[in-house]
Structure 1
Amino acid sequence: MVSSDDTYLSMRGGVSRGIRRMGGEEIYKESQDCRILNALSIGDVVVTSAGNLPANKIFHGTVIDWQLELFPSKKIIQKVVHDCLIKANHYGYKTIVFPLLGTGAGCLNKQIAWEIMLKQIIMDLSTIHQTLIEVVITLYGRETLSDLNWKFFINEMQAKWEIK
């Protein structure tokens, strides 16, 4: 399971707050231990246990740096997705679940975030040997797939890679 957070791993917003509330304080305490041991930069991924959640690990992707006033960008989202897929492969996981990274406090447009993430996932799964067989992108709250221009995007990808 992937969490979208800041470089302090504060777990105060959106998805990360929900993970902390439902998974327990153990996740937050572990993330703070990791933060103290390693100075985090935007784009880094830290791994903790999943506490009470029905997952093996939480991959905390840092997509905001409040101190430097850095917010999610294409490069940051690509890096977090790529690093999470590499880590999931390292652990031998078959499934990974992502939120739409950077679309909460980071204010990244949902359509843009979805397209960046999907392109990176497709690229990684087609070029790197993976143990993953399922990659899920979850939508938060009242968001639905119909909120995203997915048909256009899929057609664009099919045309680009000549997928029939």
Structure 2
Amino acid sequence: MKIELIKGDITKIKADAIVNAANSSLLGGGGVDGAIHRAGGQQILKECIDIRNRQGKCNTGEAVVTTAGNLPAKYVIHTVGPVWNDNEEKESKLLANCYKNSLKLAESLEAKIIAFPNISTGIYRFPKELAGKIAVDEVKNFKSDVIEKVIFVCFDAENEEIYKKLLKE
């Protein structure tokens, strides 16, 4: 599995699946979640509402999938990252589950290329260094015969530098 790093906008990435750092309501919000819903259009929201009607909210660490609407991807995998409350062990495990469950779901969709944002590092205040380490470790430890490339899409220079350093190790 190849790992690539890009500084940019995840809504512009051509991939089989992009991951959305969603909130548990799945109804869009701020940050990357709002950007994906705005760029992807009403189809994504409609499918998120269908998922909610079927199963209720999406729990932290879990992942669900919709089509990608107007985005250049085929699918959007919505995963709910943890809000940082200084419980490093619990929140780290939940964040690791976001990556693991998103990768498993991508594999089940036969996605060859998946793109991740920096989950939980915005308004959820997860420490960026720790979040980056968890993301890189989970991707490197995930064995897949289906997924060929994982792209980490960093929105800001700070995250980009963190991932550059982590990917060199």
TM class by shorter-chain length? 0.7 to 0.9
- Unaligned segments of structure 1, at least 5 residues: 156-164
2:42 aligns with 25
Seq. identity, %: 27
Give the secondary structure class of the aligned counterpart of 1:7.
coil
Q: Give the residue type in structure 2 aligned to 1:20.
A: H
Matches of 2:42 and 2:166 in 1, distance apart? 42
1:134 aligns with 149
Once the 2 structures are TM-superposed, how far is the Cα of residue 76 of structure 1 from its aligned partner?
A: 1.2
* CA RMSD in angstroms, aligned pairs only: 2.3
| CA contact 1:99–1:138 (8 Å) conserved in 2 | yes
Give the secondary structure class of the aligned counterpart of 2:142.
helix
Matches of 1:97 and 1:152 in 2, distance apart? 17
| CA contact 1:6–1:64 (8 Å) conserved in 2 | no
> Relative contact order: is structure 1 or structure 2 higher (C-alpha 8 Å, sep ≥ 6)?
2
Structure 2 length-normalised TM: 0.78
Moved over 6 A (4+): none
Larger C-alpha radius of gyration, 1 or 2? Answer: 1
> Residue 87 in 1 paired to residue 87 in 2?
no
Structure 1 length-normalised TM: 0.80
Shift in CA distance, 55/74, structure 1 to aligned 2, threshold 3 Å = same
Residues 58-108 of structure 1: CA deviation (Å, up to 9, x unaligned): 00001247xxxx998211111111111111111111100000111112111
Shift in CA distance, 110/93, structure 1 to aligned 2, threshold 3 Å = same
1:61 to 79, 82, 90: 79
Once the 2 structures are TM-superposed, how far is the Cα of residue 36 of structure 1 from its aligned partner?
A: 1.8
